[in-house]
Structure 1
Amino acid sequence: MSLRSRLFLAFTAIALVPIALLAAFTLDRLARSLELWNTPGVDQSLRTSLEVSKTALTRLESTARAQAADWAQVLPPAPVDLPRRTAVRAGLRAAGLDFVQLYRRDRAGWRRVDDVLPEHVLAPEPLDLSREIDAALAAGGVIHSPRGALAAVAPLEIRDRSGARWALTAGMRVTPDFFTGLTRIGESVDFYHRFGVLRDVSRIYWLLLVAAVVLVLALVALLVATALARAMTQPLQALEQALERVAGGDLETRVAPSGARELRTLGERFNAMTARLAAARTALAEAEREAAWRDVARRLAHEFKNLLTPMTLSLRRLEKRADRVPEADRA
Structure 2
Amino acid sequence: MRFPSLLDLGGDQRTVVELPFRGSHVITGPPGGGKTVMAVYRAWALATAGREVVLLTRYNLLHQYIAQLAPELTGTPRVTTCARWLKALWREKFEREPPRSAEDERRYDWGEMQRSCVLRGVRVTTHLVVDEGQNLPLGFYRLCRVLGVDVTVFADEKQRIGTEETALSEVCRMLGTPDAPLELRHDHRNSREIAMLASEFHMENRTGLPLPTRSGSLPVVMRIPSLDGLLTGITQYFNAHQDRSIGIICRSARTIREIQGGLASRGLAKKTQAYIFDDRYRDTMDFSAHPIRIVSTVSMKGLEFDSVFVPDLDSYTEDPTGVEARLRFLVLCTRAREDLHFAHRGTHEPPITAAIPDALLARHHG
Greater strand share, structure number: 2
Normalising by the smaller structure, the TM-score range is under 0.3
TM-score normalised to the size of structure 2?
A: 0.21
Higher helix share: 1
TM-score under structure 1 normalisation? 0.22
